[in-house]
Structures are given as structure tokens and as C-alpha cells.
Amino acid sequence: MAADTVIDCAGLGRRYRRTWALRDCRLAVPAGHVVALVGPNGAGKSTLLGLAAGLTLPTEGAITVLGDQVPGSPRALDRIGFVAQNAALYPGLRVRDLLAMGRHLNRRWDDARARAHLDGLGIPRDRRYGRLSGGQQAQVSLALALAKRPELLLLDEPLAALDPLARHDFMAVLLTAVAEDGLSVVFSSHAVNELRQSCDYLVVLGGGRVQVAGEVDDLLGGHRMLTGPTAEADRVADRLPVVRDRRAGAQSHLLVRTGGVDAPVSDGWRQQRVGLEELVLAYLREPTASALPGPRGAVRPNEKVLLP
Amino acid sequence: MSSLTLAPPRSAVLRAAGLRHRPALRTLSGVLAGLLLVLAVTGYRLHAGLERSGAQGCDMALRSCNEHWKDFLREYGAELALGGNLVYFLGGALGAFLGAPLLAREFEHGTVRFAWTQGAGRTRWTVGGLVLVGSVLAVATALTAVVLDWWIAPLAVHGGRFTPLAFTSAPPALVGRVLLVFALSALVGAVLRRTLVAVGVGVAASVVTTLVAESLRFHYRAPLEDTLHTLAQASLDHRWEGGLWVTDPAGERLGLGRLYDLGGDYYGAQKLLSEGGYSLHESYQPDSRYWTFQFVEFGWTALLAVALCAAAVWWVRRRAV
């Protein structure tokens, strides 16, 4: 039976020595989405993916993947594909040897798919991995992950080192696999402006905590940028949950959560829908703001949150 | 698709480990092939030199035999000492060069994130690598040690097979030591995640292991004792002499120096032994115990190697990336 969540965690934390890389992470990512995990450097993206892949053990809290599977367990490993940051594989091995390794190390393995994937991109299978370009290396890593026929694919900043063409090719292969197999994907990225075309679910991490989690369309539809007179800004801010408040002389800009409808403000205010990048940046600049679904979302009384 | 999840068969994990470590194993084969060639050429010279010198098989009690032996050592002693000492101190380092990168390089290059997220899991992957590389290393070392044992045999012609340089070059002792260093280097590499540091620790461990083994070796089995009544060299049966002491007619134990003091000089001491009721005692290990000692040394070093490998696997199971 298909799981209804691909990552489900509560109170999840991971500490490296005295530094918390991830803290009090509560998240329930539904299955069947392409999830973008965004946040600045050190936000805990790689840590969260590492925990979901079973590479890291939590310091506190609990996490399950694909329903009730424990990360790192044999059943979870068989059903999850993972592509690491910088697509690190063995540079001295030929591509065909890497495919053979994958075949030997996995019960679920679609060799024909991996070969077709690489042949389709003209990546020579007899070339050593270390001699491939960055884009080709990323494609080999993706081919190895997809050949497992995973139900969940985790990608840790797969686009970071790629040029625009390689990024496009990578995302094209990824989205084709999503369309064909219906697998769930969670990938971390800095390239917020490129996410709109590929992801339909967004998780924003900031300072080791989840700030935003939800479907992209809901999030974009549920926020408005209000521009109006500063003299009335306090009154508006008292009535609506403000994510970001910028006041410049006579005019103020308030990013508010409206729950999917226009904000009830006077005619002196102009309201606009916001783009994904603007939304993400607004939350990252306001670490105390959050937009999380209930009842699993971490909602604190002192945070500016509009409950659904 | 079935929800039943089966791990890939062990042989498949070993095949994957074979692919992963093939470059290192090829390098090992190349290095050992070169070493064997050098050993074959220089060993032939050493054996021919021993034959020519006339020291081969002669009676060391004879002055002429001693002279032949000294002639041989004058010509080939430096070569034998260099080769013997290299193996004696650094023979185990062979294990460091394969053990250190086994896990450390996976951390350094970040490849653990690929290897540990495959269906086989990190434990089976780590065990597979240790078993495969360790086994190949053991077999390759054993083959090399057979040739090495032949190479250094001229040194043991008159000193006996228990001579430290000869003993540590024999297959069981050398294989055990190499495996011990291999396992220690792998563990250190996993903990510190630094290949170079792990190699350094492995090389140091090779020296330390040799010295520790030599200090323990005489006690692998309880030594035998001989009682003599002469100061002349008692035996030429290649026994390993451990200690000498003297007892007086009342059975009290005293040192050899005290006997010389009592006798006044060598002849006086000899007279006390032959006519004065004093006895010279010798503890020794007979040459017949040579293979027993070889396998005792192999046993404890190999057991320690297995324990260290188990510790490395335990560390990997608990280790976060």
C-alpha cells in the first residue's frame, strides 16, 4: 500500500558537537509531490535529507519515511534513491562498473533504464567517472538512483555545481521520471527562482527550523503583498498575520497571510500576489515567521501565524 | 511490486566490493610482482653466494666453517640485514596502505553517501570490503612471504629459524602482522577520516607490533631447560636460547658473572662447573617448535585483526555522516 507521507518527523533534532544543525523539526511531507527544500547555507537541509536517507541518526525526536519505515532500514534503503551533493562517486571507476555496483548492491534494479538514460544523453559507459563533466557526473548519479525504481528520491543540492544547460537536462530527466513512475521527490536547492517550474510543494528551513511547509499554489495564493500608507500600517498589522513588514517613509510594504482571499483592507492599499522567490526570501529574512499546516505544524503563540 | 524486501546476496556485495577496490588490488598486485622479481634476482645471488662461500651446511663448531660464514656475511651481510630489517620493521605496513584508505577515503570523497544508501546497507558494504580486501591481502602476503622466507634463509643457516629477522618473514607470522596492521589502519581511518594519518598510524603499528611480538614470543610455550657442566657452546641444534643461570652445589641460583668471580677466570669457572658441583642451566625453545610458534603468532595477531575489523564495523554502524 502506498504511504501517504514520504517524510514524517516530530521534534527532530540533530546536533554536531555543540551546534544544532536541525532543531525541533516537525514536518509531514505528503507523497506524490516534487518537494523543494530551500534555505540558506547551514539551515539544515543536508542534515534533514541525511536523516531521511538513514545516513545520520537523530539526536532527538523521531523520523519515518514512506509511511512507517525507519530511515536506513533494509526496506527503506530499497525504496529510497539518494543523490548526494556534488554527486560524489568513485572517480577511478568506469561508468559501467558503477552500474554493476548498483546492480550488485540492490534487489530492485532496472539496468535497462539506467543504460537507456545514459545512452540517451551520450554518456560513454566505458569512461571513468572522474573524467566526466560535472553535468555528466550528475546524470550518472541520477541514473544510479533512478535505476533502483525508488518510491522516494532524495537529492541534496543536485544543481549547485551545474551550468544552466546541465541543470535543464537534469531537471528534464527528473521530471520525466516523476511523470512516468509517480515517485515522490525531495530536493534541496539554493536556486529558488528555478523551483517554480519543477516543484509543487515547498519546505523552507531557516536556522535549523522549518519555517514554511505547504503546496506551492496554496502558499502563493495565501499571501498578499500590501502596499499602502504608513499611517495605517499598524492597524493593518494588528488585524492580519504579517510575515514581513517594511516601512519606507509614507509608504509601507506588508507581506501578509490571507488564507487564499484578498486581504480586508481599505482602498488606500494596493495588494498583489507574490512570486515564489519573493515569498521564500521574505520568510528567510523573518526567522520568527512561519507558515505551517496543522495539526502537525509547529505553531507557537508568539509567532505570526494564520492557522488554516 | 512486492513489499517483501530481501537483501542482495552476500556474493553480490563481495562482487560490488571487488569492483570498488579493484584499482587498489591491481596496485597491490603490481607492487608485489615487482617485489617478487627483486627478491627472486637478489635471492638467487644470496643463495649462490652462500653456496660459493662453503658456509652452507658446514659444522659451525669447526673454525673453517666460521670463517666461511664470516666471508659470506662480509659480502652479503649488508644486503641481508637491509632486506631483513625492512621486512622486520615495515613488513606490516603493507596492510596500512590497503587498510587506511578502505574507509577513510570513503569519508574523504563523500562516497559513503552513495554506498550506504544502497539496498545492501552500510554494514554489509563495510564487511564486504574488509573481507574481500583482507582476504586478497592475506593470500598475496602469504605468497610473497614464501619467497621472502626463501630469500632470508641464508641468514637462518647458522642463527636458526627463530632469528627475529627470519621468523617475522615466514608466511604465518607476516600474514598475521599484515592483517593486524590492515585492520587497525581501517579502524583508525574510519574514526579519523584521514587516509594519510591512518597510513602513518599503520606504519607505526607495524614497528610496534614487531617489537611487542618479539617480547612475547619466547613465552608462547613454557621453555625447556638443559643442565650443563661446561661453558663451551653446548648445542648446535638451532635451538632458541632464552637464558643462562648457574646453581651452586646447594642448589642456590646465581648469575654467570658470579661464577666467573668465584672461579677467578674462564678456566676457573669451567673447573667449578666440571668438578666443583656447580651447574649451568639453559632455558630454550627447541627448533621443533618453530611452526607451533609461527601459528601461535599468526593466531593472536589474526584474532586481534578480526576484533579490530569488528570494531570498525561497529563504528561505521553508529557513525553519522
Check: CB of residue B103 under 8 Å from CB of residue B312.
Answer: yes
Mean pLDDT for the stretch of residues A247-268: 82
A44 vs B contacts (CB less than 8 Å)? none
Q: Which of A101, A141, A146, A154 to mutate to test the interface with B (most CBs of B within 10 A)?
A: A101
B115 vs A contacts (CB less than 8 Å)? 105
- Model confidence band, residue A87 (pLDDT cutoffs 50, 70, 90): low
- Model confidence band, residue A144 (pLDDT cutoffs 50, 70, 90): very high
List, in order, residues 6 or more apart from A161 with CB less than 8 Å away: A86, A134, A138
B236 grid coordinates: 648446535
The more confidently predicted of residues B131 and A195 is B131
Q: What is the phi/psi pair of residue A254, to 5°? A: -120, 125
Residue of chain B minimizing CA distance to A107? B8
Q: Sheet holding A184-189: strands in order across?
A: A80-83, A152-155, A184-189, A34-38, A201-206, A209-215
* Amino acid occupying residue B118: Q
Indicate the average pLDDT of chain A.
Answer: 86
Sorted by where each begins, the domain ranges of chain B are: 10-218+299-318, 240-285
Closest CA to B214 of B80, B89, B81: B89
Closest CA to A181 of A148, A141, A215, A135: A148
* Amino acid occupying residue A175: L
Sorted by where each begins, the domain ranges of chain A are: 5-215, 222-285
pLDDT at A15: 92
pLDDT at A207: 75
To the nearest 10°, report the CA torsion of B7, B9, B10, B14.
-110
Say whether residue A231 is in contact with chain B using an 8 A CB cutoff: no
Neighbouring CB atoms inside 10 A of B6's CB total 11
Alpha-carbon distance values, B294 to B170, B177, B212, B228, B302 (Å): 8, 11, 15, 29, 12
- Model confidence band, residue A82 (pLDDT cutoffs 50, 70, 90): very high
A80 grid coordinates: 529510497
- Model confidence band, residue A292 (pLDDT cutoffs 50, 70, 90): low
The more confidently predicted of residues A250 and A119 is A119
pLDDT at A184: 95
Whole-prediction pTM: 0.86
pLDDT at B271: 87
Chain B: nearest CA to A285, how far in angstroms?
Answer: 29
Alpha helix positions (H), A131-203:
134-146, 164-181
B119 vs A contacts (CB less than 8 Å)? 74, 77-78, 105-108, 148
Residues 19-78 in B contacting A (C-alpha not used; CB under 8 Å): 19-20, 22-23
pLDDT in tens, B24-61: 999 999 999 999 999 999 999 999 999 888 888 787 77
Say whether residue B117 is in contact with chain A using an 8 A CB cutoff: yes
* Amino acid occupying residue B276: G
Residues of chain B below pLDDT 50: 1-5
pLDDT at A162: 83
Helix (H, G, I), strand (E, B) or coil at A32: coil
Give the lowest-confidence range in A88-92, A150-154, A296-300, B179-183: A296-300
The domain A5-215 is placed in CATH, from the list 3.30.56.10, 3.40.50.300, 3.90.1280.10, 3.30.1370.10, at 3.40.50.300
d(CA A247, CA A231): 10
